[in-house]
Amino acid sequence: MPDLILASGSPRRKEIIARMGFDFEVVPTDIDESVHAGEKPTAYVQRMALSKARAAAVHYPQVPVLGADTAVILGETIFGKPKDRADAKAMLLQLSGKTHQVMTAVTVICGKVERSILECTAVTFAPLSADLVDIYVASGECDDKSGSYALQGIGAMLIERVSGSVSCVVGLPSCQTRLLLQSFGLKPRTVSADA
């Protein structure tokens, strides 16, 4: 049995946990990710992380289960993953030349103990031309990414400034997550730059 269950199918979260050196198993969950009417962004990402962790924890009551959710926030608008490429383009044009927040909530459940953290990072986009957005969207990197961009990839060319945890923007704040897992007695076994 692994030391940790990662309740996420995100390849980015899997890579971050692997690089941190934890022995884990990936168990993706399928939950309704709809935003409730009037729900604030902070409440939304926290509810999603908790729901993902709880969905997997029922099957693994003796092992810590980690659920996480990341959302891009501009004002009070939550930008999730794009429905299609046209939606991705619209999101990126709205973010152009502005500073937005990226929130990642992480919940770990083991038995009856639930602990959560919330990390917020400010990201400023450079002013983007429609042509540049078209080129980026055509790369496909925007697919399946909150806010339609990947800071760790080609999307870095769209970003003027980041203030806060870079790994939060990627999908899992590394340092804060390590500390949360340590509160459950978990420690990295070995770290790897090649994960």
Q: What is the pLDDT of residues 25-42, one digit of tens each?
A: 999 999 998 999 999 999
**Per-residue pLDDT tens over the stretch 178-193:** 999 999 999 888 766 6
In a domain, 79, yes or no: yes
% of the chain residues with pLDDT over 90? 91
In a domain, 187, yes or no: no
DSSP 148: G
Domain that holds residue 145: 4-182
Residues paired with residue 4 on neighbouring β-strands, in sequence order? 24
In a domain, 114, yes or no: yes
What distance in Å separates the CA atoms of residue 132 and residue 106, rounded to the nearest whole number? 33
Specify the pTM.
0.92
Q: Find which of 12-21, 99-108, 181-190 is predicted with most confidence, using mean pLDDT.
A: 99-108
In a domain, 192, yes or no: no
**How high is the pLDDT of residue 43?**
97
Q: Has 143 been annotated as catalytic?
A: no
Query: What are all long-range contacts of 32-36, with beta carbons under 8 Å and residues at least 24 apart?
Result: 33/69, 33/80, 35/78, 35/80
In a domain, 190, yes or no: no
How many independent structural domains does the chain possess?
Answer: 1
Mean pLDDT of the chain: 95
CATH number at residue 166: 3.90.950.10
Q: Kindly name the residue from 23, 69, 144, 194 that is annotated as catalytic.
A: 69
**Per-residue pLDDT tens over the stretch 104-140:** 999 999 999 999 999 999 999 999 999 999 999 999 9
Q: 1 pLDDT band (50/70/90 cuts)?
A: confident
